[in-house]
A and B are shown apart, each in its own frame.
Chain A
Amino acid sequence: MRILIVEDDALLGDAVRTALESAGFAADLVGSAESARSALQTESFDLLILDIGLPRENGLRLLQGLRNRGKILPVLMLTARDGLSDRVAALDLGADDYMTKPFEVPELIARCRALIRRANAVASSTVTLGKLTLDIAHKEASADGQPLELTQREWAILECFALNAGRLVSKDRLMSTIASWEDELTPNAIEQYVSRLRAKLGAAARIRAVRGMGYRLDDGAA
């Protein structure tokens, strides 16, 4: 997986590149829209991390140019402005995600993974979350390369989590996901499934609970 970072601040760009590399990505860093354009023409990337505030030509214009030419590369925008207008402009121009500086590096990596995953979802039925891998077609999951022994219900719950990684999933939603197997399902039963699932996942991924609301699956790094 290759990522192009367009960031004119050398300190930040370097840190993001290092962090992405240690997360297992191949990452290239350029400091301007012009060099980004030539890099995109000659090389192939899976994701573009694009700063809005670039010298001479800003990131929004670069993005607009890409989308006008029909480029389907996923784009994550970085910005130091928190005004609504920038966010709306970026998303309108076809950005896939958006982060405000300063940000947490693990979150950036998680979002990069999610974007790449989404872009590849059509081609592949495999979902990767850090050390966790789910083969949706064969209903098989593995953590750290070790296959996980899951019951049908645990698998259904894990699949629901994985497809919504990083987002809160309510207990109601989980209940409706597995309701077809059990006629009388209590919120308590969900809690039991989740705690069993937690034990099986170990450190590969974390299921975080919000009392009264539901759960969120985060990969082991976050």
Chain B
Amino acid sequence: MTAPPDNRASIRRRLFVTLFLPAAAVLSAGTVIDYLTALPPLTAAFDQALLESGLAIAAHVHTEPDGKLRLDLPADALAVLRADSRDSIYFRVGARDNTFVAGDPDLPMPSTAASNPGRLDAVYRGNPIRLVAYRTYAGNDEITVTMGETLHKRTDLRTRIIGSALATDVLVLGIILAIIWISVQLSLQPLRDMEKEIAKRSAYDLTPVGAGEPPTEVRGLVDELNRLFATVRDNAASQRQFLDNAAHQLRTPLAGIQAQVEVLCADEPDTKRRERLQRVLDAARRLGRTAQQLLMLARADQSARPDWQFEDLDLISIVESAVSDELGSAEAGGIDFGAELAAAPVRGVEWLLSEAAKSLTENAIAHTPAAGRVTIRCGELDGQPFLEVEDTGVGIPPQERERVLDRFYRATNTRGGGSGLGLAIVKEVADLHRAELSITSGTNDVGTRVRLTFRSQRTTT
């Protein structure tokens, strides 16, 4: 829950790790220090209690008239002294020369030379024990009382201290974790908002981002991003300007040549000369068409197209205008020209789709011999709008169906004078509309069928 599933650098994870790990380390160190500082007073308290018992025993050591030391304590009293719910208690009373007086004779003895009382941790009868020895006097005789105690009580208490300290620390750590988590989430919210804003944009949207006053830390990034957008936008604008100018500079003289030759052609009485003029006219028309297609491809190539307005269209109107444009040349080619139109709502750019429909129809008519059929269709198939043009012409060999989409590529069995740009344009337009372009043979394996299948309006909107 703290880190994203991949291994890429995550600010959230980094913040989390750099905040949480030190906090955890400091808290753990605190726990250890608490424990270590709590331990000596604890040990001292237990030792003191043990020592009190020792002093009680020492008070009952007397010197016998024969000069011998003797512990004068009834068995009942001794039992009380030794009684403990958790631990076994041992004692030994020794004389000045450490000779045994009373108690457990083999009990180890801490030295009282350096400090009185002396303390020692040792193992007795197989168990770790704590020993406290105290040097004192019984009358005029120096005696040493040694008390020993197993460690159960001490261990229990120590465990309880550690347990409660750890529980507190875990709780505190949990709270810190929650605080850090919330704070990281809150601090990163502007970044996430921006991420969402950018993700929502179309790839061609070059308007500035970060309208909602981003925090100082990402301001720089946003500014750079916007500067980049502006540069791309300016480049696109100047390229558009260039293309517009190029279009103007090319088209006007072409229109002039074409119109002049048309006038000459219409006035020419000599058949042979008229045929020649007709050829010049055809070439001028092709040139005009190629210029138009090149400009159109150059525009479609622009990486940024902020001026492209996708709108809700019906393919019917686009197909109708393509049919209208090509009706004359279909008739001139002696072609049975047909249309089968059904409603096909798409979201697209009108002039691009019109250009694609025109190119497809133009191609079909150019590659279909007289008495052949060209049919243009649109409608919906399985909820997906489509546009297709089918002809009974020469067809495109299957191995060339990919290559005919390349610019200037012309199929080996092609006829007539095309530019080789038509299908490249169709492909470009299809890609821009995320439509699928398929080239197959026509009905009964005759001719060609080119189909553009658009995304269903229901899923794209």
Given the interface contacts A82-B247, A83-B244, A85-B307, does A12 sit within 8 Å of B331 by beta carbon? no
Q: Complex: how many Å from CA A105 to CA B285?
A: 12
Closest Cβ neighbor of A222 among chain B residues: B328
Count A-side interface residues using an 8 Å CB cutoff: 38
Is residue B252 within 8 Å, beta carbon to beta carbon, of the partner chain? yes
Q: Complex: how many Å from CA A216 to CA B324?
A: 8
A102, B288: Cβ atoms closer than 8 Å: yes
B350, A102: Cβ atoms closer than 8 Å: no
Stretch at the interface among A14-22, A38-46, A123-131: A14-22
* Set of chain A residues within 8 Å of B339, measured between Cβ atoms: 210-213
Is residue A67 within 8 Å, beta carbon to beta carbon, of the partner chain? no
Q: Identify which of B252, B259, B323 contacts A210 (C-beta below 8 A).
A: B323
* Set of chain A residues within 8 Å of B244, measured between Cβ atoms: 81, 83
B340, A19: Cβ atoms closer than 8 Å: no
Is residue A150 within 8 Å, beta carbon to beta carbon, of the partner chain? no
1/0 per residue, CB under 8 A from A, across B341-381: the answer is 10000000011000000000000000000000101000000
Closest Cβ neighbor of A15 among chain B residues: B259
Q: Identify which of B248, B251, B256, B292 contacts A11 (C-beta below 8 A).
A: B256
A18, B263: Cβ atoms closer than 8 Å: yes
Residues of A12-35 at the interface with B, using a CB-CB cut-off of 8 Å, are 12-16, 18-19, 22
* Set of chain B residues within 8 Å of A104, measured between Cβ atoms: 258, 262
Closest Cβ neighbor of A20 among chain B residues: B263
* Set of chain A residues within 8 Å of B373, measured between Cβ atoms: 211
Closest Cβ neighbor of B260 among chain A residues: A15
A168, B331: Cβ atoms closer than 8 Å: no
Is residue A103 within 8 Å, beta carbon to beta carbon, of the partner chain? yes
* Set of chain A residues within 8 Å of B301, measured between Cβ atoms: none
CB distance from B295 to the nearest CB of A (A): 8
Q: Complex: how many Å from CA A53 to CA B295?
A: 18
A82, B336: Cβ atoms closer than 8 Å: no
* Set of chain B residues within 8 Å of A168, measured between Cβ atoms: 320, 323-324, 327
Is residue A101 within 8 Å, beta carbon to beta carbon, of the partner chain? yes
B248, A19: Cβ atoms closer than 8 Å: no
1/0 per residue, CB under 8 A from B, across A80-101: the answer is 1111110000000000000011
Closest Cβ neighbor of A9 among chain B residues: B252
* Set of chain B residues within 8 Å of A167, measured between Cβ atoms: 324
B375, A102: Cβ atoms closer than 8 Å: no
Given the interface contacts A53-B248, A84-B309, A101-B254, does A208 sit within 8 Å of B331 by beta carbon? yes
A84, B351: Cβ atoms closer than 8 Å: yes
A211, B375: Cβ atoms closer than 8 Å: yes
Closest Cβ neighbor of B308 among chain A residues: A84
Is residue B417 within 8 Å, beta carbon to beta carbon, of the partner chain? no
Q: Identify which of B251, B260, B324, B336 contacts A211 (C-beta below 8 A).
A: B336
B251, A101: Cβ atoms closer than 8 Å: yes
CB distance from A101 to the nearest CB of B (A): 4
CB distance from B339 to the nearest CB of A (A): 4
Closest Cβ neighbor of A8 among chain B residues: B252
CB distance from B443 to the nearest CB of A (A): 14
* Set of chain B residues within 8 Å of A53, measured between Cβ atoms: 248, 252
Is residue B203 within 8 Å, beta carbon to beta carbon, of the partner chain? no
Instruction: Show 6 A/B contacts (Cβ-Cβ < 8 Å), sorted by A.
Output: A11-B253, A14-B260, A15-B262, A84-B351, A102-B284, A211-B336
Q: Which residues of B pack against A, CB within 8 Å?
A: 244, 247-260, 262-263, 266-267, 284-285, 288, 292, 295-296, 307, 309, 320, 323-324, 327-328, 331, 336-341, 350-351, 373, 375
Given A208-B328, A222-B328, list of 11 further CB < 8 A pairs? A11-B257, A11-B260, A12-B255, A78-B255, A80-B248, A82-B351, A101-B251, A102-B254, A168-B324, A212-B338, A216-B327
Q: Which residues of A pack against B, CB within 8 Å?
A: 9-16, 18-19, 22, 53, 78, 80-85, 100-106, 167-168, 206, 208-213, 216, 218, 222
Please name the 4 residue pairs, one residue from A and one from B, whose CB atoms are nearest each other, closest first. A211-B338, A11-B256, A15-B259, A12-B256
